[in-house]
Structure 1
Amino acid sequence: MNVDIGNALDGDLGLARADLDALDDRVGDAHERIERGRAEAEHGYAALNLPETCDPEPIRRAASGFDPDHLLTVGIGGSALGAATLTDALGSGVDCRYLDNVDPAWVRATLDDVALSNTVVNVVSRSGTTAETLSNFLVVRRAMESAGVDWTERTVVTTGGEGNLRAMADEHDLPALDVPEGVPGRFSALSTVGLFAAAVAGVDLDELLAGAAAEADRLAGSLFESPAYAYGATAYALAERGAATNAVMPYAESLERFAEWFAQLWAESLGKDGGGQTPARALGATDQHSQLQLYRAGPADKLVTLVRPRGSADTPIPETDLEGLSYLGGSSLGELLDAEFRATEASLAAAGRENVRIEIDRVDERGIGELLYGMEAACVLYGELAGVSTFTQPAVEWGKKAARGLLGGGDFAEADAVSEKRRLEVE
């Protein structure tokens, strides 16, 4: 992974090279704290050890008994987004779907659109009690039974050592993968949580973990020696100067889900104590026509993160006699996308709007491993510099308790607060 922070300097928010030089001592201290956390496998920091601690063999064994047309992952948040990122970018030959919402019409349409007799279901929940996940799984199980499919022959569970899912797996002798200890869901893509779907979809797990390990080896005590830390430190420094939004814009259709994964990682980890950055998802070149106007000419309160592979398969553009378009003939879609990327980057810089370029060699296992690990390390560094509790999510837990109480799952003060909603209705 390569990170170019040149266009983050001397823009409207006033970040200078001297500011990064001054910040670098704090980066060194943060790196020492991160390394201590990794050495002790402390909660959260253990995620940065996954390239070494994740054993892909049990995952491959669990996936090897199936040759499905469809894979249906039932999970939400970190229990689905990492797997979706991997299969969208790297999978082939298997139709991978993710039930990560409880919209009833959408769930029904998804189940109607797959052949349940040749579908593998992976239900993922660390606690085994996640309401959305278990509700969707019960719906899937009933649909399989109604279709005459033995769900116990086509279900793999990924969960913790205790809870409803573990008990169900034991009762029905289902294949069960262990969620790693000390790894929050949004940091779990490179573990059993994300890798079962990847294995079913034909992804080379060894190469993926090797890419992540290569990026781990590049962590160092200076932001000028580590791409991940360069990004994390620059994002933090800009946020301190008013970059309240981080617009992540991959220039590869296969990386669109990566932007969704990044949004959870960044928002849930860093949105604490009145700080953090709001992640915005964009896609190059599509959103040059829908969002770039705001990023270039709107409020100077954003960092734009441009992500792309340096190489990919290409498609030539045919010659044409159409007036004004002849210049396109003889070039390719890849060359056009590259021109769009560089033009967007230069356009933002010319307007004084800060942007960072992140590149991987290709959208392949090694490149995606580098990218996911690098962003996780960047996020952890940002959290250390900001002094926040990176690995907790108390605001999310509040909402879970409120919803559970509304459904009769317990007596929670959070549920009582729902009835106190202020109303000003216009009909």
Structure 2
Amino acid sequence: MYVDLGNALSSVASPGVSREALERLDDDVAAAHERIEAGRADADHGYAALNLPETADPDAIRTAVDRFDDPAAILTVGIGGSALGAATIADALESGVDSYVLDNVDPERVASLLGSLDLSATVVNAVSRSGTTAETLSNFLVVRDAMERAGVDWTERTFVTTGEEGPLRRLAEKHDLPALDVPAGVPGRFSALSTVGLASAAIRGHDIEAILDGARDEANRLSGSLFESPAYAYGAGAYALDQRGASVNAVMPYAESLETYAEWFAQLWAESLGKDGLGQTPARALGATDQHSQLQLYRAGPRDKMVTMVRAREREDRAIPETDLEGLSYLGGSSLGELLDAEFEATEASLAAAGRPSVRVELDRVDERGLGELLYGMEAACVLAGELYNVDTFVQPAVEWGKRAARGLLGGGRFEEAEAVAEKERLVIE
């Protein structure tokens, strides 16, 4: 992974950060790195996620999924970090095995998806650390019922990824289902490089060792200086820009295969750093598509944004045919890849010309190794940013409040959060 902070410097953009300020911040980065390394050494909650390149067990993953011969599709039933990592890897890498995710309880979407699948050729992975997540268990019960109605033995097509205890674990034991362990001390949004994200990749035939190798490469580049570690450069740069007014971080990959990555990043950044009135608001965009929509705001709207531009240096390409149409002949003889690169560089230059900060993040290729680098790099960047903000990166109390409220409303117990729903202020216009 390569990170270029040049267009985020105060000599280019406002808000921006000077080289001198980055050098001063590097002392804080060195101290934060010591805390991170101590947390990793003790496998403390959260910091254990940065050990996954070494602690993840590809053999255990393959053993769990090898019983499923030649599936046509994998359906991951989870929500948030229990689904987004698997979805990001699946959408980034091509395979002959289709990948689907049920991470919402919209009944129309669920019915439509289940009606379109050949359930006899689909493998289902139910993912929940606690095994009690209401959305995941509800969707799983619906999926199981649909399989039974279709005459499919769901026990032959299902495995679970869960904690040591809970309803999903008991279900696996009762029906002799393959069960993968969610790694201890790893919050869901940091679990893409574990059983949670890699099981689906294994079923689809991807090289999960190469994903972990890429992550390991990025882990080996962590050091006590942002000038020596791309991950820390990104985390420190985003933090510094936020401190100077760039409270929105618009992530704009120039590869459709990375569109879901932007969703994954949004959860990672928002849920980890949004505490105590601090943290950037992540926004999602897609290059070059959103040059024709959101870029207007980023270039000419409030000066409260940084744009993170992500691309691969190498990709498959497609030639643009020659044409004699007036005004279009300049396109002939070039390629779609060249056009996409030109769009990337023009957008970057456009933002700089308007004095708006952007950060460039590049991979060699969007393949297993490159994806491992990107996912690990951004997780490490997020952990570093949390240290600089002095927030607990690995908890999500606001999310838990909503979970308790929903559970109470559904009769799952008495929770004062559910009682607060009745107190809603109303101003209804009909």
TM-score by length of 1: 1.00
Distance 1:252 1:14, change over 3 A: closer
Q: What is the Cα deviation at residue 396 of structure 1? A: 0.1
Q: CA contact under 8 A between 2:218 and 2:377: conserved in structure 1? A: yes
1:206 to 204, 209, 217: 209
Alignment map for 1:19-418 (pairs within 5 Å): 19-66=21-68, 67-418=70-421
Q: What is the Cα deviation at residue 95 of structure 1? A: 1.1
The one-letter code sitting in structure 1 at the alignment partner of 2:47 is Y
Runs of 4+ in 1 over 3 A off after TM superposition: none
Q: What is the Cα deviation at residue 16 of structure 1? A: 0.8
Gaps of 5+ in 2: none
Q: What is the Cα deviation at residue 76 of structure 1? A: 0.2
> Which deviations, in whole Å up to 9, do the C-alpha atoms of 1:162-191 show, x marking residues without a partner?
000000000000000000000000000000
> Which deviations, in whole Å up to 9, do the C-alpha atoms of 1:11-66 show, x marking residues without a partner?
11141111101100000000000000000000000000000000100111122222
Counterpart in the other structure of 1:2: 2
Q: What is the Cα deviation at residue 133 of structure 1? A: 0.1
Q: CA contact under 8 A between 1:91 and 1:202: conserved in structure 2? A: no
Local SS of the residue matching 1:419: helix
CA distance in 1, matches of 2:370, 2:265: 16
Q: What is the Cα deviation at residue 90 of structure 1? A: 1.3
**Identical positions, percent:** 75
Q: What is the Cα deviation at residue 9 of structure 1? A: 0.5
Local SS of the residue matching 1:121: strand
CA distance in 2, matches of 1:174, 1:286: 43
CA distance in 2, matches of 1:141, 1:227: 44
Local SS of the residue matching 1:363: coil
> Which deviations, in whole Å up to 9, do the C-alpha atoms of 1:292-332 show, x marking residues without a partner?
00000000000100000000000000001110000000000
CA distance in 2, matches of 1:57, 1:90: 21
Is 87-96 or 253-262 further displaced after alignment? Answer: 87-96
Q: CA contact under 8 A between 2:8 and 2:16: conserved in structure 1? A: no
CA RMSD of aligned residues (A): 0.5
Q: CA contact under 8 A between 2:95 and 2:205: conserved in structure 1? A: yes
CA distance in 1, matches of 2:352, 2:62: 46
Q: What is the Cα deviation at residue 400 of structure 1? A: 0.1
CA distance in 2, matches of 1:156, 1:238: 44
CA distance in 2, matches of 1:331, 1:421: 58
Local SS of the residue matching 2:224: coil
Is 56-65 or 185-194 further displaced after alignment? Answer: 56-65
TM-score by length of 2: 0.99
CA distance in 2, matches of 1:16, 1:194: 38
Gaps of 5+ in 1: none
Q: What is the Cα deviation at residue 91 of structure 1? A: 3.7
Local SS of the residue matching 2:366: coil
The one-letter code sitting in structure 1 at the alignment partner of 2:114 is L
> Which deviations, in whole Å up to 9, do the C-alpha atoms of 1:307-359 show, x marking residues without a partner?
00000000000001110000000000000000000000000011110000000
